[in-house]
Amino acid sequence: MSEHTIQATGRHVAGKGASRRLRRAASIPAIVYGGSAAPQPIQLEHEKIWLASQNEWFYSSILNLDIDGKVEQVLLRDIQRHPYKQLILHLDFQRVDANHALRAKVPLHFVNEDKSPAGKTAGVLVLHEMNEVEVSCLPKDLPEFIEVDLGALTVGDIIHLSQLKLPAGVEIPALKLGKEHDVAVVIAKHAKEEEVDAAAPAAAEVPATKASKKDEK
């Protein structure tokens, strides 16, 4: 697991007015909470965080948050963005305990799709039904991503959650809730099947009056 450090500074003034002043000064107000310590308001440099936010690891990895020289391990739990400007408005970080399991969403990386029988067959769609999955594990075992090898995928195949190869110490909590939660992650099907599936609801929506008039002719 790669290590990523985020620099931050403690802040002692809270409120909407203080947050607006921080944003005008190209900083981001944020909060760190969880564990045995009290919630701590912090601020971060917008430019550095904006660059970090372009990376997948920013959302799924344990971060070393350096607050005035004191480092805490945290997970990003919430990010508030401006509706149309390239601005981050607020961040929530949660402290992690090395001895307690945590839950986090991890991205899925699909590999070898173009080399698979399904990928090489004309008119076949390979549908990625999920792009991330929630896992449970100790902080030290949290993967930055889970690889899904599609090299052997053929037309008609469905890869379910239970078929994902997980690193040691990592599990998917949803699978403990019953078979109905073992949902599809990848589906390989003919494009014509997709067209039929899309057209089916439209056919079902034909008004009964129109259908009856047609039958009368």
- Tens-place pLDDT, residues 123-146: 899 999 999 999 999 999 999 999
Residue 55 lies in a domain: yes
pLDDT at residue number 35: 85
Q: pLDDT at residue 204 above 80?
A: no
Last residue within a domain, chosen from 78, 95, 112: 95
The model's pTM: 0.78
- Rounded distance, CA 44 to CA 9, Å? 6
Residue 31 lies in a domain: yes
Query: Is there a single domain that holds both residue 130 and residue 184?
Result: yes
Query: Is there a single domain that holds both residue 111 and residue 191?
Result: yes
pLDDT at residue number 3: 84
**Residue 109: its H or E element:** strand 102-111
Using one digit for the tens of pLDDT, what is the confidence trace for 76-89?
999 999 999 999 99
Is the distance from CB of 182 to CB of 143 less than 8 angstroms? Answer: no
What average pLDDT does this structure show over 150-166?
96
What average pLDDT does this structure show over 21-33?
89
Residue 211 lies in a domain: no
What average pLDDT does this structure show over 95-119?
94
- Rounded distance, CA 99 to CA 35, Å? 11
Residue 56 lies in a domain: yes
Residue 136 lies in a domain: yes
Query: Is there a single domain that holds both residue 86 and residue 49?
Result: yes
Query: Is there a single domain that holds both residue 69 and residue 120?
Result: no
Q: How many domains does the chain have?
A: 2
Two tokens, residue 169:
């110490």
Residue 216 lies in a domain: no
Residue with the bigger pLDDT between 193 and 208: it is 193
pLDDT at residue number 215: 47
State which residues form the domain around 138. Answer: 102-198
Two tokens, residue 26:
């190209």
Last residue within a domain, chosen from 76, 95, 114: 95
Which residue from 186, 187, 188, 108 is spatially nearest to 147, judged by alpha carbons?
A: 108
Q: Beta 102-111 vs 146-149: how paired, if at all? A: parallel
pLDDT at residue number 146: 96
- Rounded distance, CA 62 to CA 75, Å? 5
Which residue from 128, 133, 127 is spatially nearest to 107, judged by alpha carbons?
A: 133
Query: Is there a single domain that holds both residue 162 and residue 80?
Result: no
Last residue within a domain, chosen from 74, 95, 116: 95
Query: Is there a single domain that holds both residue 115 and residue 76?
Result: no
What average pLDDT does this structure show over 87-96?
95
Query: Is there a single domain that holds both residue 113 and residue 174?
Result: yes
Residue 125 lies in a domain: yes
CATH of the domain at 41: 2.40.240.10
Query: Is there a single domain that holds both residue 106 and residue 79?
Result: no
What average pLDDT does this structure show over 146-162?
96
Give a three-class secondary structure readout of 125-188: EEEECCCEEEEEECHHHCCCCEEEECCCCCCCCEEEHHHCCCCCCCECHHHHHCHHHCCEEEEE
pLDDT at residue number 181: 96
- Write the CB contacts of 24 (distance below 8 Å, at least 6 apart in sequence): none
- Rounded distance, CA 34 to CA 139, Å? 14
